[in-house]
Chains A and B, each alone.
Chain A
Amino acid sequence: MKTDKAPSKNKTLVTKLLFAVVGMFAFGFALVPLYDVICDITGLNGNTNNLAAQAEAGEIIDETREVTVQFIARENGGMAWGFSPSATQVRVKPGEVNMISYKVTNNTDQVMVGQAIPSVAPNAAAGHLNKVECFCFEEQVLQPGESADMPLRFFVDPALPADISKLTLSYTLYDITEKSSKLKAVAAR
């Protein structure tokens, strides 16, 4: 009769299903790096490279066109810092290295740590804006009332699709004082 075999059959089936459950749980976590990889490859979400690009000496400069790069700066969630770019937009030739700076001021009476996160619009351009030097690569520690000029050196990849003539680089500054490892180092000194 069928039911005689049922316990061992159940055991095999339940084992398989439990593997599926564990597998799907792991898959949920695997989606996190997968999501980053997909966003990096496609430039979705305005993700830009988080690593300094090498400005190759022989980088070909495309003299035939100019593109506009706009800069946006905002503080997240009412963070009491001043944060603004030195220019709201510049015209650049693809391939040439440009530099602008962002001014930050800590308007509070406490030592704070900020972290700027970049985002590029439109998405299709995100992979073509290369930062040679960027303050967003590291945390910024500011004493009460202190100001700093933070440099950004970048170039637009000549491979930028021809239909894009304007890109927007947006920085959001986050208060990471509580989470920062740097502040602990400062405090320990």
Chain B
Amino acid sequence: MSTSAALDHSHDHHHGPAKGITRWLFTTNHKDIGSMYLWFSFAMFLLGGTFALVIRAELFQPGLQFVDPSFFNQMTTMHGLVMVFGAVMPAFVGLANWMIPLMIGAPDMALPRMNNWSFWILPFAFAMMVSTLFMEGGGPNFGWTFYAPLSTTYGPPSTTFFIFAVHILGASSIMGAINVIATILNMRAPGMTLMKMPLFVWTWLITAYLLIAVMPVLAGVVTMMLFDIHFGTAFFDAAGGGDPVLFQHLFWFFGHPEVYIMILPAFGIVSAIIPTFARKRLFGYDSMVYATASIAFLSFIVWAHHMFTVGMPLAGQLFFMYATMLIAVPTGVKVFNWVATMFRGSMTFETPMLFAIAFVVLFTIGGFTGVMLAITPVDFQYHDTYFVVAHFHYVLVPGAVFSLMAAVYYWLPKWTGYMYDETLGKLHFWLSFIGVNLLFFPQHFLGLAGMPRRIPDYALQFADFNWISSVGGFLFGFSQLILLFVVIKCVRGGKKATAQVWEGAQGLEWTVPSPAPYHTFETPPDASLIKAQ
């Protein structure tokens, strides 16, 4: 595989990309594949966002307005699945494809053909998953966590399509992860030692290991479901000697590392952007690396905090509570380092920096509510309420998604060769920032007051905070069209970007021209360009 890729490479040397659709279908170029991942994830972001707006429209007022409860459940489920597996994860893989080879001075990803394959199976997985909405009995309606027996005994007939979709996208993630690890370990330019790698590369290396460790477990879980549904096994069926609680253990053994899969690369992005616009070196590079590794390790031993209410011995509750709280320590190290990087820096506030600062502040709020949820006795009250919804949306939307937007604005000039429209970018930021807080902050209060998750109707006392939340939801949702406009405008033209783009930008990706040529670093960069972080 790699041998032939190397051969292709040698005679491909002086050509640009192929013409027409085959360029995209057959490409093995990391930049093309990265762009496709990013566009795909943006499409999924809009689709998942549309599902979310159906939810928020229904919850605007008490009572049933627009959709019936079964469809509402399909919307909450598909919103979660599409956003997690279709929007956030592929977006990070897209950034990894684009930026990791540029950051470590490699000509391409280590396994370019597998790279093509891991992207192109994704649209099929999601076509299959979304098509279930049009099937008899509807799409998955059991929540993105697809707890058995809701998804086995009581699931709709389309559950089988959902299972195969998860298999395919799991295979895609695993191939992507193998590729990232092979690239980082084998293709670094001479002089690029591990501890000189940019943090985005480091966080992705660790994320890739997490993916390899847990995506197969997810594949195993859905395979067990498949067997329970079609082949009469009883992994999760109590009547046959199985145990539904086992499902939750297996799912969250995947699910908790999964949430770090969605946030560690975000840490890497923010660690690239803040030093650039503070015009200082990143404070505490080594501690950032160790903190990332500690978070990854801890993510494997805290899964049962998602299921405190299933009935667990006191020792188990204490262990998972303290282990979970321990995660706040390395995370706190990171937040401290970002703040220390900004401290007494010559800061400017271009759009990527605004998103990065908002990330630090709002992600920390999400982290704090996470610590609250980790406290077992109070978790019994918060469990399955809107407080949980508010918590994980704070870490995922103004957390992971804001970091992705920051990354797009930060590297867009490098990708397109043009500067984006700063005024529109700032408008997009402020509308998103106001929208996201209007959307999710009131949900904390709703949850504390006892409003349960995943319901299409609610008691009257929740009406006020719900309409505020819905208004914020529509504001945030439609603001994303500005991002689409800014990106298209920037692709089509604008002020020419320099190679360095940002005054304070450091790193190998800024040594190549803007836009980055189709082939970069065919000869390794000069070792003098590789600086300590």
Contact = CB atoms under 8 A, between A and B. Distances in A.
Nearest to A2: B190
Contacts of B524: 1-2
Majority SS at the chain B contact face: helix
Majority SS at the chain A contact face: helix
Nearest to B235: A32
Contact of A6 (B174, B187, B245): B187
A13 B217 contact: no
Interface string A1-27: 111001101110110011011111101
A45 B186 contact: no
B239 A115 contact: yes
A42 interface: yes
B239 A117 contact: yes
Contacts of B250: 28, 31
A35 B220 CA distance: 15
Given A9-B186, A20-B213, A24-B214, A117 B238 contact: yes
Interface size on A, as a range, is: 35 or more
B231 to A, nearest CB: 11
A179 interface: yes
A118 to B, nearest CB: 11
Contacts of A124: 313
B131 interface: no
B182 interface: yes
A175 to B, nearest CB: 7
Contacts of A39: 243
Interface string B210-223: 00111111011100
Nearest to A35: B246
A45 B243 contact: yes
Contact of A10 (B110, B212, B213, B241): B110
Contacts of A13: 181-182, 185-186
A13 B111 CA distance: 11
Nearest to B181: A17
A123 interface: yes
Interface in A28-63: 28-29, 31-32, 35-36, 39, 42, 44-46, 50
B313 A174 contact: no
B216 A35 contact: no
Contacts of A21: 174, 178, 212, 215-216
A124 B243 CA distance: 19
A11 B187 CA distance: 13
A179 B232 contact: yes
B232 A28 contact: no
A57 to B, nearest CB: 31
- Which of B2, B107, B190, B219: most chain A CB closer than 10 A? B2
A76 interface: yes
B22 interface: no
Contact of B212 (A24, A28, A31, A35): A24
B164 to A, nearest CB: 16
B496 interface: no
A11 B213 contact: no
Interface in B175-210: 177-178, 181-182, 185-187, 190
B311 interface: yes
B239 A175 contact: yes
A141 to B, nearest CB: 15
B249 interface: yes
A35 B235 CA distance: 11
B505 to A, nearest CB: 26
Interface in B230-285: 232, 235, 238-241, 243, 245-246, 249-250, 253
B186 A29 contact: no
Contact of B311 (A14, A27, A50, A123): A123
A176 interface: yes
Nearest to A119: B238
Contacts of B239: 76, 115, 117, 174-176, 179
A124 B2 CA distance: 57
B246 A6 contact: no
Given A7-B2, A24-B216, A28-B216, A179 B313 contact: no
Given A2-B524, A14-B111, A25 B217 contact: yes
A172 interface: yes
B528 interface: no
A28 B316 CA distance: 21
B6 interface: yes
B242 to A, nearest CB: 8
A44 B246 CA distance: 12
A7 B311 CA distance: 51
A39 B245 CA distance: 11
A176 B9 CA distance: 61
Interface in B292-316: 311-313, 316
A31 B313 CA distance: 19
Interface in B418-448: none
B311 A20 contact: no
Contacts of A42: 313
Contacts of B235: 32
Contacts of B243: 35-36, 39, 45
Given A28-B221, A32-B246, 7 more contacts: A17-B181, A20-B212, A24-B212, A32-B235, A35-B243, A36-B243, A179-B239
3 tightest Cβ-Cβ pairs between the two chains A and B: A28-B220, A174-B239, A25-B216
Interface of B: 2-3, 6, 107, 110-111, 174, 177-178, 181-182, 185-187, 190, 212-217, 219-221, 224, 232, 235, 238-241, 243, 245-246, 249-250, 253, 311-313, 316, 524
13 contacts: A2-B187, A6-B6, A7-B2, A10-B2, A10-B186, A17-B177, A21-B174, A28-B253, A42-B313, A172-B238, A174-B238, A174-B239, A179-B240
